[in-house]
Homo-oligomer: A and B are copies of this chain.
Amino acid sequence: MNKIKVSTKNRILNAAEQLFCELGFDNTSLRNITSEANVNLASVNYHFGSKKQLIQDVLHRYLQVLMPQLEQGIDELIEAGDLSSEKLFNALVDPLMSLEQVRPNGTKIFVQLFARAYYESQGHLRKFITNQYGTSLKRLNKALHLAVPHLSTNEVFWRWHFALGSCVFTMASSKALSEIAAADYHQHMEIEDLIKKVIHYIAAGFSAPQPEKVRLVS
């Protein structure tokens, strides 16, 4: 391992993920990335073929580490039998924190990337994630239903997306929000604390009683 020389490919990946976090995928240009990485513009297409492929490879670095752990953690919870939404959401913390091993600040980077990926509805990304990790996601969905047996299938569907929205929005704007919070309340929030805070919140909402039936049109 040569500590001094980082390969061009990795320099691009590192610069890209940082800029994707800050600006989003569409608003980050290849010129932006290559100048940040101090590499030539053409090298992106040499190493990755296209911007789309670069985006997928950036996410893949994290997903290939996260997903197996996530799946294992969920399986253990399901087998143990005593599933609550608090426990289920808390089971996401350790796998997420393990992404610090992938890159410095890896957890924060990944969650923000995931938020962007979910929000900026890029067809190729959703397709990529579904193809690669669909099985794990189905397992998670099963666990969600087991955690809140008092809720209808439809209600679980919507609450899962409400919860996801809190995470996605918070992480995507966490830089701005943390700065505001730091300025107003003189408090610096680490990513792990923020994750725990949002998980406490979504667990409460997720397991709230089934509401009275609202008008539904078939």
Task: Provide the A24-55 mask, 1 if CB < 8 A to any CB of B, else 0.
Answer: 10110000000000000000000000000000
Q: Which residues of B sit under 8 angstroms from A163, Cβ to Cβ? A: 166
Q: Among B158, B169, B172, B217, which residue has its beta carbon within 8 angstroms of that of A190?
A: B217
Verify if A2 is at the interface (C-beta below 8 Å from B): no
Asked, given contacts A165-B169, A170-B162, whether A214 binds B185 with beta carbons under 8 Å apart, the answer is: no
Asked, given contacts A193-B214, A201-B208, whether A157 binds B185 with beta carbons under 8 Å apart, the answer is: yes
Query: Count of chain A residues with Cβ under 8 Å from any Cβ of B?
Result: 50
- Which A residues are closer than 8 A to B by beta carbons? 24, 26-27, 119-121, 153-154, 157-159, 161-170, 172-173, 176-177, 180-181, 184-190, 193, 196-198, 200-202, 204-205, 208, 211, 214-218
